[in-house]
Every structure is written in structure tokens, then in C-alpha cells.
Chains A and B, each alone.
Chain A
Amino acid sequence: MAVDSAGHALRDRKVLIIDDDEVIRMALRGIFKKENCGVVEAGNGNAGVSLFRQEKPDIVITDILMPDKEGLETISEIRACDPHVKIIAMSGGGSVRDMGFLKLAGKLGANGTLHKPFRPDEILSLIGRLL
């Protein structure tokens, strides 16, 4: 149900995906293309913030651990540009330790968070609740 509503809500919207992992970007791109949704991508926080300013997407999905501006700074800057855009933070923790950065993402303005790995219906359902 939530996934269906996300499908309708996503149609003709634009999503910005920020992640340094190309495989994750590719997987997310596939999910959103199926929903007839526009997708733009960046491989780090700096590029993500620049792309956000140019493209004005409706939804931002960002990783936390990234080079050249990590996710929390990225969320903070995007939120400062636009108080209304929906932001989702995602993280798989680190290779050794997970410092609970997703909780901080919420405090800095992310509307939703996801632990990696997640299924396509999980992200679609989260977006369905946010839009």
C-alpha cells in the first residue's frame, strides 16, 4: 500500500542520490527509474550540495560516510538551502564501528533514515510516508 502510494507520489519528481559507492547509486537509480522518477547523482557531499542547488530535487537521499564532505555536513547545508526538501540519510555504519550517525542525521534535519542494506520496498515505503 505504502509502496503504491510512493509510486504515485514519485511520478515526475526528481531525486538526488549522494553516495560514493557507485553500486548503491546504480541500484537506487534502477528503483527510481521504474517509478518514472527523475534521478540525478553525486559521488560526494560537495558535488551533492552543488547539484542540489542546480537541480532543485524534491527528495535527497544521502550516505553518511563519504569523502569530500560527509553526510551530516551535507544534510546541514542542504537543509539550510531548503527547509522543505525531503531528506533521507542512509548508512551501513563503518567497516569496524557504527557510531550512530543516523541518529545525528535526524537531529540535523533528515526526515527519515535507513540502515544499509535495505530492500527497494523499504525506501519506497519511507518515501511514501514522507511525500
Chain B
Amino acid sequence: MSLRGKNYSPEEQAELERLCGQLSEIFARASYGEDIVKAARIIGEISQCAYLPLWDTKRNALTTYLCLPPAHAPQQKLSRQGRMTMDLGMLGSAIAELEKLGRDGKKFFIVCPVRHETLYNQDSYKKYHMLCQGVAQEQRKFLILLMTHLQRDLPKTQAYWFVATLKNYCQQIFAEVPLGQKTDFLSLRNAGIDAVGVSIGGRDGSEQETIRLLNSFSAQARTGRIPAMFALEVPTLSLATSAVCAGFDCLAGSAIHGAVKNPDNIYRYRHEDLFAGLFERGLP
């Protein structure tokens, strides 16, 4: 089951609508500066986002945590307003976690997803931008923004402008693109994107086809001089090993580690650890 494409019951849907309404109200009341930051703190508390550890396959460590929408957030069924509120909520949660990181002296990176439409719409962009300003200066080096649901023919100037603006508030900017779709890697690189990746959870089609697409993606991304590649929602060991050998730098998904409630430090994770379950089973 896809972490970000779950099917929801009517009760879960109702719960989400209630949550979105609550978040929208907070944002409607908070228009400027400190209000937005206060709202972000509240949203961080009530959003109940989860975090998925990302395995840095070259540094052999779980270094980074991907913020996931609240467990009961059926993204595909949300209204446009609801989706924007979720993006704001996830950044709110990330800000709250980064503040805790500062207090506890831990080290980790948070990847916070934001939809293209949230950045494209003037009203939501204004609020997102104000929220970004609420990230404390010393914590910005631990924040990575992940642009998702990019439109197919994203104008080069738009990509450049998003990256140039948002990079003031974070360490790096990643972009998620659909697997199997033609991607202009060179433009993304020129816009200043630090990593490009795909989500492979809940895909139709065979694993063999997914592996073929991962290899093709990797070859094209390297030709486009993309500095790093990631694969999210990796569900099986066969896809994880294939992605690693295809040159993907970061992987996340149930094959590597389940979602956690809060980000929690950097941990050593070598490729042997992928097969820890097999070793635990032991030899007969």
C-alpha cells in the first residue's frame, strides 16, 4: 500500500475534512509575520505528520526524514484548498521538529514536500513564503524542500524563480517527477535543483518494468548532470537493491524502514542492514 496514496474510509475522510478546516481557520486568522509562525507551531502539534527515514546509500546512514502528510490525509481526494493546507501543515510540523532538534542537540535533516500548485497560487505561495520565514536561521541548514507534482512542462523561469526564492530558507531543494515521464533534467539542474527523484509506491505494472524505468531514469539524470537521485516508497528488497545498483543516492520506503512519529538522529545503515530480516532468520 502506498504511504501517500492510501484508500480511505468515509470516517477517515470526515476526520481529514475536520482537520483541514481547523488548519484553514488557523491560517485564515494568521495573516502576517509572528501570527504565521504561531500558527505553524499549532499546526505542527495537530497535524500528526509521520516521518519516513531516508537511507543515504553512499554515506551508509539514515540521515534524513521525509515528512509525510497526516495518516488520515487522502491527498487524492482533497480539495485544492485542502492540499495547500496540508503543505502548510507539513512545513509547520517540520518547523516544530527543527525547533526540538535545536533544543535536544540532535542532528538530522528534514525533507518537507510542497506541491507545485501551492507555490504557483499567489495566496498559498504568500502564506508558504511567510511560513518559510519562520524557520530559524540556524535551523535552515537542516531543512530540505521537496517540490512535488510538478507540471509536465514546467517553464524554466518558474523553476528557477521557485528555487532561487526558497533556497533562502533551506539547505537544498529536491524535485519529485513521475517515473517513466520524459523529464528535462538539464533545466532542473540549471534551476539549481539539488536532487531529482521518483516515487515507486503503488505503481501498476511489473517490477521488471519498474527496474527498467529506474535504470533509464538514472542514466538520463546522470546525463543531465543531476547531482543526486532519490527513490521514495520503495516497497521490496528487489526494487531497493536494483535502485542502489542503478546509482540512486537516497532511498526510503517499507523495504528500508517504516515511518516514525518523530525524526530521531542520524543512524548508521549499511547495505547489509537491508537484509537484516534474512540474517535474523539464520541458516538452518
Candidates A67, A83, A99; contact of B244 at CB < 8 Å: A99
Q: For B247, what are the chain A residues with a Cβ–Cβ distance below 8 Å?
A: 94-97
Complex CA gap A129/B230 in Å reads 42
Indicate with 1 or 0, residue by residue over B196-227, a CB within 8 angstroms of chain A CB atoms: 00000000001110110001001100100000
Closest Cβ of chain B to A115, distance in Å, is 14
A72 and B244 contact, Cβ closer than 8 Å, known pairs A66-B238, A67-B238, A96-B218: no
Complex CA gap A107/B238 in Å reads 18
A112 at the interface (CB under 8 A from B): no
Q: Within residues 240 to 284 of chain B, which ones have a CB less than 8 A from any CB in chain A?
A: 241-242, 244-247, 271-272, 275, 278-279, 281, 283-284
Residues of A within 8 Å of B, CB-based: how many?
A: 29
Q: For B215, what are the chain A residues with a Cβ–Cβ distance below 8 Å?
A: 95
Candidates A67, A70, A80, A104; contact of B206 at CB < 8 Å: A67
A79 at the interface (CB under 8 A from B): yes
A97 contacts B237, C-beta separation under 8 Å: no
Indicate with 1 or 0, residue by residue over A71-86, a CB within 8 angstroms of chain B CB atoms: 0110010011001000
A64 at the interface (CB under 8 A from B): yes
> Would you call the interface of chain A mostly helix, strand, loop, or mixed?
loop
Q: For B272, what are the chain A residues with a Cβ–Cβ distance below 8 Å?
A: 104
A73 contacts B237, C-beta separation under 8 Å: yes
Complex CA gap A79/B281 in Å reads 11
Candidates B210, B222, B242, B281; contact of A65 at CB < 8 Å: B242
Candidates A44, A64, A79, A83; contact of B241 at CB < 8 Å: A64
A68 at the interface (CB under 8 A from B): yes
Q: For A76, what are the chain B residues with a Cβ–Cβ distance below 8 Å?
A: 278, 281
Q: For B222, what are the chain A residues with a Cβ–Cβ distance below 8 Å?
A: 96
A94 contacts B245, C-beta separation under 8 Å: yes
Complex CA gap A67/B240 in Å reads 10
Q: Nearest A residue to B209 by beta-carbon distance?
A: A67
A-B contacts, 9 listed (Cβ < 8 Å): A65-B238, A67-B206, A67-B207, A67-B210, A83-B283, A94-B246, A96-B218, A96-B246, A97-B246
8 A-B pairs with the lowest CB-CB distances in the bound complex, closest first? A94-B245, A96-B247, A67-B207, A70-B238, A67-B208, A76-B278, A83-B284, A99-B271
**Residues of chain B at the chain A interface (Cβ within 8 Å):** 206-208, 210-211, 215, 218-219, 222, 236-239, 241-242, 244-247, 271-272, 275, 278-279, 281, 283-284
